[in-house]
Amino acid sequence: MEENIKVEDDIKVFGFWIYLMTDLIIFAVLFACFIVLRNSTFGGPSGHELFRMSSVLIETLALLTSSFTCSLAMFEIQQKRKNMATFWFAVTFALGMVFLFIEFSEFSELMDKGANWQRSAFLSAFFTLVGTHGLHISVGLLWIIIAIFRVWLRPLSAFNVCNIFRLVLFWHFLDLVWIFIFTVVYGTGHLL
């Protein structure tokens, strides 16, 4: 019990935090690139014509809720309730899949309209930024599957709990980045 409470102080968590911050800098560079190129549509479609805000809202709320259920899973692990933790991780996984599905269908819809990443600098920056986030989500989903098996099959030792705690940090971090994609890419894109 004592070692579980102290998991946040682990040196591994600090190391993982350093990774998350460097990842945040990658996203910051992609954001800067996107904002600089926001008007460089080369005669192609702009964000206002392309983005369907209703599906973006569902996407955003799905990711936000998954971030919340993920923290509930961590709570259950600290309470040593394995079944509930597995359940909440499964919910997180399902919501992450909903997010990824909506994102991919949006991408394919853009492709159908001829708005691919070769069309304009704006669309290149858009696909790079949102695609990088989607890639992180895919990796996070794989990690959730591993975490579910870890909760299910392994004892809740300090080592395993620390690993799951880092997954939870990663997933919260992805939602943190998505707030700004929602606002900067879709929000200002729709308003301008």
Partner 1 sequence: MYQKTLSLRIFGFIASFILTVAAFLIIIHPGLFHLENRAAIVIILSLALLQFIIQSIFFLDLGRETGPQWILAFFISTLFIILIIVFFSIWIMDHLNYNMMPMS
Report the interface residues with partner 1, using CB under 8 A: 8-9, 13-14, 17-18, 21, 24-25, 28-29, 31-33, 35-36, 53, 57, 60-61, 64-65, 67-68, 71-72, 75, 78-79, 169, 172-173, 175-176, 179-180, 182-184, 186-188, 190-192
* Whole-number Cα distances in Å, 149 to 16, 71, 73, 100: 21, 18, 14, 22
Nearer to partner 1 by Cβ, of 117 and 180: the residue is 180
Nearer to partner 1 by Cβ, of 57 and 145: the residue is 57
Residue with tokens 């702009």: 46
Nearer to partner 1 by Cβ, of 72 and 116: the residue is 72
| Cα diameter, the chain | 62
Nearer to partner 1 by Cβ, of 116 and 172: the residue is 172
Q: How far is the CB of 144 from partner 1 (least distance, A)?
A: 16
Q: Are 122 and 39 in contact (CB under 8 A)?
A: yes
The token duo for 131 is 């695609």
Residue with tokens 């926001």: 38
What is the helix (H) or strand (E) element at residue 52, kind and residue range? Answer: none
Q: How far is the CB of 102 from partner 1 (least distance, A)?
A: 15
- As a whole number of Å, the CA-based R_g of the chain is 19
Q: How far is the CB of 76 from partner 1 (least distance, A)?
A: 10
CA distance 65 to 153: 26
Q: How far is the CB of 50 from partner 1 (least distance, A)?
A: 14
CA distance 173 to 17: 10
Nearer to partner 1 by Cβ, of 116 and 128: the residue is 128
